[in-house]
Structure 1
Amino acid sequence: MRKRKMLLAFGATALLSLSGCSSDTASNQETAATTTLASTTAIPEPRANEAVEAPGVTLTVDGVSESDYLSIYPDSVKAGSAPEENMDAPEGGRFVTVTTTVENTGLVSWDLTCGFAIQAHILSEKNQRYDPIDSLYRIPGNPSCNDGLNPGFSDTMIWAFPVPNDVEITHFGFADPETNFNDLTLIDISDAKPAVTSVETTSTANETSTQATRETVTTLEATSSVPQKPPFMNDEDFDPYGPPRFVACWESNAAVMSDGSIVTDTVNCAPEPAPLEVYDEPVRSDGCVGPAAVCGYYDEFGNPIWFDKTTGETSPRYYDQYGNPTMVAP
């Protein structure tokens, strides 16, 4: 009987010992699984202003902005050669604009705006995917159409996406379509701010332009408020505030006045008469000299006649009722 009790006691002890080993093994397995899960979920998601590497592309989201319209260059016009125009967002929507810096780490050149060099989308909190607008070369700050970005170089690239007003955008996704089409690398842009560089540049440019405009207006006002002396006038002759008076002739029938104006003046600046012609003909007893049309002459028989120097006609010598020579008989 004692021997049976001892066997039972030994069995109970062995059972407890096995139970303890089993509990320790399960506990260790649970701890290892928890550690593996924690290490997997602890990897932070890429965010704005971080350079994110993907096959063939390294991309940094520099800023995100939203607006009811988009400023673009007119179509079929060289970028910068004409004023920008506004493209309104679709009714009930807005534009989400993502400014990035892209580096070509691939093997071939990129045409960023007229080619399909980078696949780019934005995604909503419901995983809805949105495409950018066409003609990205019309967005100020983007490369021109057919500009090539060779491997190893970086450039600014701006995408604009039409999005409904009630949709919240959380991610930007990109890929090299040649090697990873639709295999997007995602960047969290839920708390991204507008691109600082572009805002500061625009602000500085606006301030400079405004200052220049103010200085120009001030200069024009100062210049226009004070009458300016014409360069051809003497200081003592210029009097812009008194009544205009004659100063000098500008040309025939035109005079310079004291206020700097030039006016018609047929009195002070009338053309001088042509000098009288000097004739070498001897003085005649009947006083007919010069360009008179009718003069007294004698014919070859000694008879008095009138000779018309203009026409060469002759006639007997007649006088009208006033005593003037005439070739018409009374």
Structure 2
Amino acid sequence: MSTNITPPPMPAQPPQPGKKSHTNAYIIGGAAIIAAVVIATGIAVSGRSDDTAKPQPTVTVTETVEPEATVEEDTAAATDQNADAKVGEKARNGGAVVKVTKVAEADTIALAGVRKAAGADAKYVVLQTVVSNEGKASMDLTCSLPIANALIDDQGRRFDTIEDLYDVAGNPECNAQLQPGFDDEMKFVYRVPKDAVVTTWEFSEYDLENEVTPTLVNLT
């Protein structure tokens, strides 16, 4: 008697993935990578845009312009500079006090009793003054130059006195010492161009040791 043996059934094979499934996976993965790149690029661009768009601080520069001086201000400044004294007022410099009492112009003057002409293109300017010695020592007004002085015209030109002021009629003699506490009349005489317009007289007490700022007398 024969026995038929039936072999057990073979286990079923798991289904193999198809090509379509692989393709879908690749598409999904590629899309994810592209999305990540786009997002990263957008962030970077956004960052640069923010930096570019960041407002910069505004700096305001204010320039101050000084107003120009007017003619009136310039004239006032010049007047103030020459306002130490006027004709008829006492002016002081050190121990010398001088009052200009009169300013005169002449074609001739008397020198040592003789009339001397200024010349065709010149004139004499005579300052009549009273000099007071309020210092500590005597003054020789006509010989030893106790008072340094200059006559100034409207062009800024400076003129010295003529020589031998002791020969001018009415002036103190040479070596006539004006003692402290006394005063004397004194004429300062200048020879200047005919068309000169004098404006200022400058004087200072003579001092060899120190620099002295002169005093100005307005003659206009």
Calculate the TM-score normalised by the size of structure 2.
Answer: 0.60
Deviation at 1:67, TM superposition (A): 0.7
Return the match for 2:187 from 131, 143, 158.
Answer: 158
In the alignment, structure 1 segments of 5+ residues that lack a partner are 1-25, 31-36, 74-83, 191-330
Deviation at 1:103, TM superposition (A): 0.8
Q: Does 1:72 align with 2:101?
A: no
Deviation at 1:127, TM superposition (A): 1.3
CA contact (8 A) 1:119 1:181 kept: no
- Partner of 1:107: helix, strand, or coil? coil
CA RMSD after TM alignment: 2.4
1:100 equivalent in structure 2? 129
Calculate the TM-score normalised by the size of structure 1.
Answer: 0.41
2:55 equivalent in structure 1? none
User: Which AA in structure 2 matches 1:107?
Assistant: K
- Partner of 1:101: helix, strand, or coil? strand
2:214 equivalent in structure 1? 184
**Residue-pair matches, total:** 144
Percent of residue pairs bearing the same amino acid type: 30
C-alpha offsets along residues 140-175 of structure 1, whole Å, 9 cap, x if unaligned?
A: 111111100011111111011000012110011110
Report the CA distance shift for 1:182/1:85 in structure 2 as closer, same or farther (over 3 A): farther
Report the CA distance shift for 1:181/1:87 in structure 2 as closer, same or farther (over 3 A): farther
2:98 equivalent in structure 1? 59
Distance in 2 of aligned mates of 1:176 and 1:98:
17
2:118 equivalent in structure 1? 89
In the alignment, structure 2 segments of 5+ residues that lack a partner are 1-63, 67-72
- Partner of 1:178: helix, strand, or coil? coil
Deviation at 1:181, TM superposition (A): 5.8
Distance in 1 of aligned mates of 2:126 and 2:215:
18
C-alpha offsets along residues 18-56 of structure 1, whole Å, 9 cap, x if unaligned?
A: xxxxxxxx9xxx9xxxxxx9xx96968121000112212
Deviation at 1:183, TM superposition (A): 2.9
Return the match for 2:201 from 154, 172, 192.
Answer: 172
User: Which AA in structure 1 matches 2:143?
Assistant: C
The answer to which structure, 1 or 2, has the higher relative contact order (CA under 8 A, 6+ apart) is: 2
Q: Does 1:49 align with 2:78?
A: no
